[in-house]
A and B are shown apart, each in its own frame.
Chain A
C-alpha cells in the first residue's frame, strides 16, 4: 500500500477533515467560478476577491473526493495574500506537477507539495486539479 499512503498524506487528510475557507460569500466583488466533473461527480466552486492586484480572500464550496476537497482547501489558504501574478504562476506550476508534466521544482509550492503523490495516479489528476483550474478562471 506504499503508493496509496503516498496519496493520502497526513496534510491532505487534515485539510479534508478540516476544510479552510469553506462556504461562499454573496458579494459581487468576489469572482466566482464553478466546475463540475460529469464523470466522477465532483462539483467545486471557487471565489476570489482581488484588490489592487492582491488576493484578499479566497473561498471554496462543493463536494467530491478527499483529494479534490483537500486540494481546494489548501488552494484557498495558499492564495490569500498573493499577488494575482504570483498566484497564477504557482497555480500553473502546481497543475504541471500533479499532471506529471515538467514543472519548476525550485518554486516553493508550500503545503501543495503534498499533492505530488497524485502523479502516480493518473486517474486522480483531475481530482487534484479541479479547484485550481476553477481558481485560475476566477482571475480572468
Chain B
C-alpha cells in the first residue's frame, strides 16, 4: 500500500506507537487540537451571554457546530443536542422520554450486542416503570437480523434501543428495515451510533430513527462532547433532563418555563472548547469523506483478518465483521496477560469485556482482546500486531501457559 496520507495529521503517532484502539477512542488530528487551543488561548468566553467580541465569536462558532453536525447527519439544526457523550445522550432519552411514556407491560427491545450505555439505562427504566425488556435473538454469528427482530416485535413494543455497530463484534445492524417495522407498531427507535458515526454515512431523515446518539471522541473529536439527535416533535414533547442556567425562558418563584429544544436540554455551561473541536473534527472527516475512510478501513481490516487467521493459537470471534473491529483471544492466555505483552511492545489494543458483558456471555468468554483499525492505520500496523501476537504466543507458551 502507498504511504498513508493521513498519518502525518495525528501527532499522537509521532511516538511510534502502533494504535489499534480507535473503538475505545480515536486519535485527534492537529486541526482539532488547534481549535481547542484557539478557544482556550484566544477566546475563553461563555456563550449566549456576553456582548464582547470573544463572546460573540464563541457563540457563533458554537451554533455553527450545531449546523455542521446537522448537515453531517441530515438533521435539522434544532434536532441537535450537545451532550457529554453517547452515554449521556442515551440516558437522556431513557429518563426523559422513557420514564414518561412507558407503562407496566410495555416492551423495550434491546440486544445482547448493546454497550452497557445502551442497555443499563433501559434496564433501569424498565425496573422503574414496570416495562419489560425483550432481547432480539442473535443469529449464529451474533448478528441482529430483521427476521429475529420481527419475531421480538409486538404490539406491546414501545421502545427499540439498538446499536448501529457493535463495539465488540463490529457487525452493522440492518436498521433501516428495523425502523420501518418498529414504526408500523408505533414504537420509537433509539440508535447507539457510537461505533458507526466515524465511518458510515448516516442520514437520519432517510434512516427515520427517532433518536440517535454518538460521542465526539470516537470520531476524531475531543472528549466530553457528544450529540443526541432527536426528532423535533419528540424533543419538544419531552421534559428537560437537567435544570439550571441557560435552559429556562422565564423563572418565577412558583413556576418557570423552558426554552424550546435543543436549548432546554443544554443546562449550564457546556464544554465549549470541545463543541468547537467537534466541528473541526467533522470538517476533517468531510474533507476525506466517510466513503474513502470506510474503504480504507476495509482494506486494512481484510489484511488483518487474513494474517491473524494464519496463526493457529488465535481465535477470532467476528471474522465476518464488515467494520474495523477484531475481537480475539490467544489459546490458553487470558486476555489481561496478553494485553500486558502487547503494551510492552507499544501496540495499543484493549482487553476485557469492553463494557459489553452480555455479548461476552453470549460468546461464552470471560474477556477478549480487541483491535480496531481506522483511517490512520496501515498494513505496517497490522504486521506489527501480527508479529507481536506471534511473539506473545511463544512467550506465554514458554512460560507454561
* Interface positions of A (Cβ within 8 A of B): 1, 3-4, 7-8, 13, 16-17, 38-43, 63-68, 121, 123-124, 127
Q: Is the CB of B400 within 8 A of A17?
A: yes
* Interface positions of B (Cβ within 8 A of A): 334-337, 339-341, 343-344, 351-353, 357, 360, 365-367, 395, 399-401
Collect the chain B residues with CB atoms within 8 Å of residue A42's CB: 336, 366
Q: Is the CB of B335 within 8 A of A40?
A: yes
Smallest CB-CB separation from B391: which chain A residue?
A: A1
Q: Is the CB of B353 within 8 A of A65?
A: no
Collect the chain A residues with CB atoms within 8 Å of residue B353's CB: 38-41
Q: Is the CB of A41 within 8 A of B360?
A: yes
Task: Classify the secondary structure of B's interface with A.
Answer: helix
Q: Is the CB of A41 within 8 A of B366?
A: yes
Collect the chain B residues with CB atoms within 8 Å of residue A65's CB: 334-337
Which residue of A13, A64, A121 contacts B366 across the interface (Cβ within 8 Å)?
A64
Smallest CB-CB separation from B360: which chain A residue?
A: A41
Which residue of A4, A16, A124 contacts B336 across the interface (Cβ within 8 Å)?
A124
Which residue of A3, A66, A121 contacts B401 across the interface (Cβ within 8 Å)?
A66
CB distance from A121 to the nearest CB of B (A): 6
Number of interchain pairs (Cβ within 8 Å) = 55
Collect the chain A residues with CB atoms within 8 Å of residue B334's CB: 64-66
CB distance from A1 to the nearest CB of B (A): 7
Smallest CB-CB separation from B350: which chain A residue?
A: A39
A63 to B344, CA, bound (A): 24
The 7 closest A-B pairs by CB, nearest first: A41-B367, A65-B336, A41-B366, A65-B334, A40-B352, A39-B352, A65-B337
Smallest CB-CB separation from A4: which chain B residue?
A: B344
Known: A65-B337, A124-B336. 19 other contacts (CB 8 A): A1-B344, A4-B395, A8-B399, A16-B400, A38-B357, A39-B353, A40-B353, A40-B367, A41-B365, A41-B366, A42-B366, A43-B366, A64-B334, A64-B366, A65-B335, A65-B336, A66-B337, A67-B337, A124-B340
A42 to B399, CA, bound (A): 21
Smallest CB-CB separation from A62: which chain B residue?
A: B366
Collect the chain B residues with CB atoms within 8 Å of residue A4's CB: 340-341, 344, 395
Smallest CB-CB separation from B354: which chain A residue?
A: A39
CB distance from B52 to the nearest CB of A (A): 45
Collect the chain A residues with CB atoms within 8 Å of residue B399's CB: 8, 13
